[in-house]
């Protein structure tokens, strides 16, 4: 219920933003090197191409946790996107992360189609669209119809903790810097059990590298879970497919049986 309530609130912000701006799809696909005022134009549809959603850290390929899926559910190996060594968990948190991995098919919020949180929304295997204005930047994600508003004028403290938190942005040269906080403790960072508490603070950096690549960095700080701040980095690629657009992935209906099948009237 909390997931859908937060989603509904975020969608209402998105509808308000799009209605006010009357942004066309052509404008949303403008090259990143074009100028939006005096700033880089990040408008477009982007996607990460890596295995970070399986595990942020480097990992070998492994068998599917669901035997019947065979190779279809196998985990591909990955070099990892964490800089400077492994994620610096506090001892108790490291034990919890290990238990999360063991019970991931029951505990991972992605299994139940809950909103992905930040930064996980960025590197899930789905595209997302950035719509940029001077006053705010809207990011819409194909996964679960998640949306996120980055305020370029600080609206004050987050009114409530939520799955996607509250994001406030500013420019440092050609880099969009986003300060995100106000998260609940329910989202995970990947499918391997990496997690955070409601004290999570994320600082993201989006730096264009030509027309079709954005270098993405996120520094995570959470004194309840990690011994120090740590950073991930990866490129995001513009989707250049003909007639590219976000399609629907309303996964809520895919998990109704999983979540509520036990309550069906017999």
Give the CATH number for residue 164: 2.40.128.20
Q: What is the pLDDT of residues 53-62, one digit of tens each?
A: 999 999 999 9
Residues 6+ apart with CB under 8 A from 219: 202, 203, 229, 230, 231
Please report whether residue 210 resides in a domain.
yes
Question: What local confidence, expressed as pLDDT, does residue 95 receive?
Answer: 98
Would you give the distance in Å from CA 143 to the centre of its chain?
Answer: 9
Please report whether residue 254 resides in a domain.
no
pLDDT, average across residues 4-19? 46
Please report whether residue 192 resides in a domain.
yes
Question: What local confidence, expressed as pLDDT, does residue 265 receive?
Answer: 77
H helical segments located in 84-144 = 91-102, 104-107, 120-123
Please report whether residue 65 resides in a domain.
no
Please report whether residue 203 resides in a domain.
yes
Please report whether residue 266 resides in a domain.
no
Rounded-to-integer distance, Cα 134 and Cα 170, Å: 10
Query: CB atoms < 10 A from the CB of 35, how many?
Result: 10
Residue 32 reports pLDDT greater than 90: no
Confidence band of 9 (pLDDT split at 50, 70, 90): very low
Residue 24 reports pLDDT greater than 70: no
Rounded-to-integer distance, Cα 124 and Cα 53, Å: 5
Question: What local confidence, expressed as pLDDT, does residue 38 receive?
Answer: 75
Residue 6 reports pLDDT greater than 90: no
Q: What is the pLDDT of residues 100-135, one digit of tens each?
A: 999 999 999 999 999 999 999 999 999 999 999 999
Please report whether residue 217 resides in a domain.
yes
Residue 27 reports pLDDT greater than 70: no
Question: What local confidence, expressed as pLDDT, does residue 4 receive?
Answer: 47
Question: Rounded to the nearest 5°, which phi and psi values hold at 42?
Answer: -95, 5
Question: Rounded to the nearest 5°, which phi and psi values hold at 138?
Answer: -105, 130
Confidence band of 15 (pLDDT split at 50, 70, 90): very low
Question: Rounded to the nearest 5°, which phi and psi values hold at 91?
Answer: -55, -50
Question: What local confidence, expressed as pLDDT, does residue 266 receive?
Answer: 76
Q: How far is CA 171 from CA 75, 136, 139, 207, in A?
A: 37, 12, 17, 10
Domain that holds residue 145: 2-60+79-241
Question: What local confidence, expressed as pLDDT, does residue 25 receive?
Answer: 45
Rounded-to-integer distance, Cα 34 and Cα 83, Å: 30
pLDDT, average across residues 15-20? 42
Question: What local confidence, expressed as pLDDT, does residue 264 receive?
Answer: 82
Please report whether residue 7 resides in a domain.
yes
Among 186, 190, 187, 188, which residue's Cα sits nearest to residue 54? Answer: 190
Confidence band of 262 (pLDDT split at 50, 70, 90): confident
Confidence band of 31 (pLDDT split at 50, 70, 90): low
Q: What is the pLDDT of residues 153-183, one digit of tens each?
A: 999 999 999 999 999 999 999 999 999 999 9
Question: What local confidence, expressed as pLDDT, does residue 5 receive?
Answer: 44
Q: What's the domain count of the chain?
A: 1
């Amino acid at each position: 219920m909390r997931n859908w309530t937060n989603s509904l609130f975020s969608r209402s912000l998105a509808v308000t933003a799009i209605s006010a701006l009357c942004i066309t799809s052509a404008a949303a696909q403008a090259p990143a090197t074009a100028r939006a005022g005096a700033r880089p134009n990040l408008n477009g549809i982007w996607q990460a191409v890596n295995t970070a959603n399986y595990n942020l850290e480097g990992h070998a390929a492994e068998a599917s946790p669901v035997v019947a899926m065979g190779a279809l559910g196998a985990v591909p190996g990955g070099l990892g996107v964490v800089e400077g060594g492994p994620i610096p968990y506090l001892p108790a948190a490291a034990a919890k992360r290990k238990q999360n991995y063991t019970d991931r098919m029951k505990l991972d919020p992605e299994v139940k189609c809950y909103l992905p949180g930040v930064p996980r929304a960025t590197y899930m295997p789905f595209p997302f669209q950035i719509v940029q204005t001077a006053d705010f930047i809207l990011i819409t994600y194909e996964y679960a119809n998640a949306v996120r508003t980055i305020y370029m004028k600080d609206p004050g403290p987050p009114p409530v903790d939520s799955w996607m938190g509250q994001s406030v942005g500013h420019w440092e040269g050609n880099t969009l810097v986003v300060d995100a906080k106000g998260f609940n403790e329910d989202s995970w960072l990947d499918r391997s059990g990496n997690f955070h508490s409601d004290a999570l603070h994320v600082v993201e950096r989006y730096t264009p590298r030509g027309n079709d690549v954005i270098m993405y960095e996120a520094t995570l700080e959470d004194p309840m879970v990690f011994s120090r701040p740590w950073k991930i980095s990866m490129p995001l690629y513009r989707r250049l497919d003909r007639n590219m657009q976000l399609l629907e992935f309303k996964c809520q209906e895919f998990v109704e049986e999983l979540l509520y099948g036990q309550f069906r009237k017999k």
